Each structure stands twice: as structure tokens, then as C-alpha cells.
Amino acid sequence: MTLLARWFGSRFAPDTLPGRLRRDWLAWVSGVIILLFVGGALFAPLLTTRAGEGEGEPNPVEKLEAPSAEHPFGTDQLGRDLYARVLFGGRTALTLGLLVVAVAVGVGVPLGAVAGYFGGWVDEVIMRLTDVFLAFPPLLLAIFIASALGASLINAALAIAFTWWPWYTRLVRAQVVALRDRPFVEAARVIGVNDLVIIGRHILPNTLSPVVVQATLDLGSAILTGAALSFLGLGVQPPTADWGQMVSNGRLYFPDRWWYVTFPGLAIFLSTLAFNLLGDSVQDANG
């Protein structure tokens, strides 16, 4: 029956990944939300008349005002327009997310590929190293690193990536182990192709899909963890806008000035959810 399934699979399954994604409405919804956030972050100065306040200039005459036509999300304790702050906070969140994923992928994927391909003691050393990193509670380790390095966007990203790369190493290693004895890899070895070229050209491209899924899911989680670090004061420093920091400050005025926590909180919630949904859809479409 497997033969039959393959036969039908090749002929009848909607064969492209974009094709399958297009038929999935959740992928659509999450994609639109993500596009809104990315667009908002990229074009923040054009989407508000109060770009200065978004970047941190105080406006003491309009402190803690409720949402209105002038200030759709209200204002904070320094009178800054929260709509502008949320837009600019998106820049922080996305930068952090991308940094974390880039570092974790950049470190984790090559290590996993090397461990899986060469096996033996190389594999043993790399995998025991991942075990060590995975033994720490990630948020605690990130807090420790962030406080040791000093609070800044880049340090927060490094701190988070520090605890995340082992997942990519494990993911990629498992894929590479399954691929390294395939005939097409052996064929390349018979030709005399260099091991690193074999890894880069023949093996890694076939491990991309699960890595993309994991990276999409992680973008959401990185934003959430980044927000947690900022909430604790270990992330981006004021006056740069940051959702976690805004929730942290806003909770002092809750519930009377409900809007101060609500809109940044919603931004965290929606962006994290959207990345998770998109990641799931990509995974299903791959399956």
C-alpha cells in the first residue's frame, strides 16, 4: 500500500507548500496579523503623528489619558501616546525575536549537522554540551546572563539564544542522522565531494522544513520571553519602547488606567499567538 500511496501522492496531492498553505484559513489569519505587526514596526514613523513620543519624548500635559480619537490607546504616565509606543515597541520585539532566532539557528544548526554527520566522539561532545544547557531552567539562565552582561536589547537576545540553540542542535542532528546514509549522500562521497560541501549542499537543504517550523514558533516565544525579561527590567532600557516594560509600568496603574497594560499586553498576546499558529500551519502543510 505504501507504493500505492506514493503513486497517488506524486500525482494527486496538491504538491507545493504554498499551495497547501493557501487552503488553510488559520495560516491566512496569522499571516495577516504578522504582516500588520511587521508593517507597523517598519513604517512606525509614518503611521503616527507622534513619532517623537513613540521614541520616548515625554509629553507631561497629557498624562494617563483614556483612549480617545486623539489617543486611540490612551497615554502613559509621561503623557506619551500609547498607540505610538506600541508601534515602536513592535520594532523592539521583532528585532529581539529575529536576533534570538538568528543566533540560535546560527549556532545550533551547524553544531547539529556536524554532530549528526560525523558521529563518534564529535557527536558525543556536542550532544553532552546540549544536555548541560538544557538542564538549566531557560528563563532563570536568561535572567542570570542578562544581569551579568547588563541590560540591553542585544544582551537580552543573547541571553535567550544561549538557552535555545540546543533545541536546533537536537532537531538538526536527528534529521542529519536519518539522511547521512541515504544513497544520494553516499553517491556524493563516492565522487569525492568534501564532507562540509556534502553537509551544506546535500544534507542541510533537506532539513530546512522542520527548522523553519521551529524558527517560526520560536519567534513568538522569543517575543514572549523578551517581554518577560523587560518586565523584570533586564531588557531594553527606557526610553526605548518595549511591550514588556510597558506592561510592567502599566500594572502600577491597573485597574483604574486599564488601557496602559491592556494594549501592550494585547500586542504581546497577538504576536505570540500569530507566530505559533503560522508555525503549526507550516508544520501541517509539510506533513
Partner 1 sequence: MSYLEVQDLRIAFQTHAGRFGAVNGIDLALERGEIFGLVGESGCGKTVTSLALMGLVPPPGEVTAARLTLDGIDLLGRRDWRDVRGRRVAMIFQDPAASLNPTFTLGEQLVHVIGHHLGQKGATARARAAALLVDVGLPDFERILRAYPHQLSGGMQQRAMIALALASGANFLIADEPTTALDVTIQAQILRLLKGLRDKHGLTILLITHDLGVVAQTCDRVGVLYAGTLVETATAVELFRAPQHPYTQGLLAALPRPGSRGTDLAAIEGQVPSGMTAVAGCPFAARCPQVFGPCRSARPILLEPVAGHGVACHLYTAQEAAS
Partner 2 sequence: MTLLEVRGLSKAFAIRAGGFTRHWARVVDDVSFSLNAGETLGLVGESGCGKTTLARCILRIAEPTAGEIVFDGTDLVKLSRGALRARRSELAIVYQNPYLSLSPRLSVHDLVAEPLVTHTPLRGAALTARVIELLQAVGLSADDLRKRARQLSGGQAQRVAIARALALRPKLIVLDEPTSALDVSVQAQVLNLLVKLQRDYGLTYLFISHNLDVVQHMADRILVMYLGRVAESGPSAAVFSMPRHPYTLALLAATPEPDPTRPAPDIALEGNVPSPLGPPTGCRFHPRCSWAQDRCKAETPALRSMRAGHLSACHFAEALPGG
Residues that bind partner 1 in the complex, under the rule CB under 8 A: 1-4, 7-8, 11-12, 14, 19
Q: Which does 3 bind (CB under 5 to 8 A by kind): partner 2, partner 1, none?
A: partner 1
Instruction: State the nearest-atom distance from the C-beta of 18 to partner 1, in Å.
Output: 13
Instruction: State the nearest-atom distance from the C-beta of 190 to partner 2, in Å.
Output: 5
Q: Does 182 bind partner 2 (CB under 8 A)?
A: yes
Q: Which does 184 bind (CB under 5 to 8 A by kind): partner 2, partner 1, none?
A: partner 2
- Say how many C-beta atoms besides its own lie within 10 A of residue 52's C-beta: 15
Instruction: List beta partners, residue 59.
Output: none
Q: Does 202 bind partner 2 (CB under 8 A)?
A: yes
Q: Which does 201 bind (CB under 5 to 8 A by kind): partner 2, partner 1, none?
A: partner 2
Q: Does 287 bind partner 2 (CB under 8 A)?
A: no
Query: Among 156, 173, 154, 153, which residue's Cα sits nearest to residue 108?
Result: 173
Cβ atoms 243, 163 nearer than 8 A:
no
Instruction: List beta partners, residue 25.
Output: none
Query: Among 168, 188, 160, 172, which residue's Cα sits nearest to residue 244?
Result: 160
Q: Which does 251 bind (CB under 5 to 8 A by kind): partner 2, partner 1, none?
A: none
Q: What is each CA distance from 55 to 39, 50, 52, 81, 168, in whole angstroms?
A: 17, 9, 5, 10, 35
Instruction: List beta partners, residue 81.
Output: 75
Cβ atoms 35, 219 nearer than 8 A:
no
**Per-residue x/- track, 8-27, partner 2 (CB under 8 A):** --x-----------------
- For 234, phi and psi rounded to 5 degrees? -105, 5
Looking at the Cβ atoms of 3 and 61, the one nearer to partner 1 is 3
Q: Does 188 bind partner 2 (CB under 8 A)?
A: yes
Cβ atoms 156, 236 nearer than 8 A:
yes
Q: Which does 43 bind (CB under 5 to 8 A by kind): partner 1, partner 2, none?
A: none
Of 7, 43, 184, 269, the one binding partner 2 (CB under 8 A) is 184
Q: Does 212 bind partner 2 (CB under 8 A)?
A: no
Instruction: State the nearest-atom distance from the C-beta of 152 to partner 1, in Å.
Output: 50
Alpha-carbon gap, residue 139 to 148, rounded angstroms? 14
- Cell numbers for 116, please give them: 549528526
| Contact residues for partner 2, defined by CB under 8 A | 10, 182-184, 186-194, 201-202, 205-206
